[in-house]
Amino acid sequence: MKAQDFPRIQYHLTEMVLKEPHKAGTPLEFDTKGELAVAGVTNKISLPVRIESLDQSKLKVSGSIPMKMTDFKIAPPVKLGVFKTADDIKISFDWVIGKPAAPKAQ
């Protein structure tokens, strides 16, 4: 996926809307809109995002969306003319946010 020229997949969030009122003890669910850049091509997408508490000091933000390689002008690879891959892919992420660990006493 042109990783040498474009080593990062980037998502620029432009809108984030809570899907429904939050219920205690359940993850927050959002509908987001933004721009996803893959292999030098940027497309506007809608991406469901979930935020959940892992413990008192950590949050997990995650999302996943099915896509096609050709949406980003990437031809599905063929290995030695024998194996051919499908155009369908899934882009997903998990991001854990937390307080930095307290310095240990010496």
State residue 1's pLDDT score.
61
Is residue 80 scored above 70 in pLDDT? no
Q: Does any domain span residue 5?
A: no
Domain count, the chain: 1
Give dist(CA 21, CA 29) in Å, integer: 9
Neighbours of 95 (CB within 10 A): 11
Flag whether 104 is in a domain.
no
CB 32 within 8 A of CB 12: no
Question: Phi then psi for 79, rounded to 5 degrees?
Answer: -95, 110
- Which comes out higher in pLDDT, residue 85 or 66? 66
29-68 tens-digit pLDDT: 999 999 999 999 999 999 999 999 988 889 999 999 999 9
In a domain, 22, yes or no: yes
More confident residue, 48 or 82: 48
pLDDT at res. 83: 73
Domain with 17 in it: what CATH number? 2.40.128.110
Distance between CA atoms of 26 and 24, rounded to whole angstroms? Answer: 6
Task: At 31, list the tokens.
Answer: 């509908």
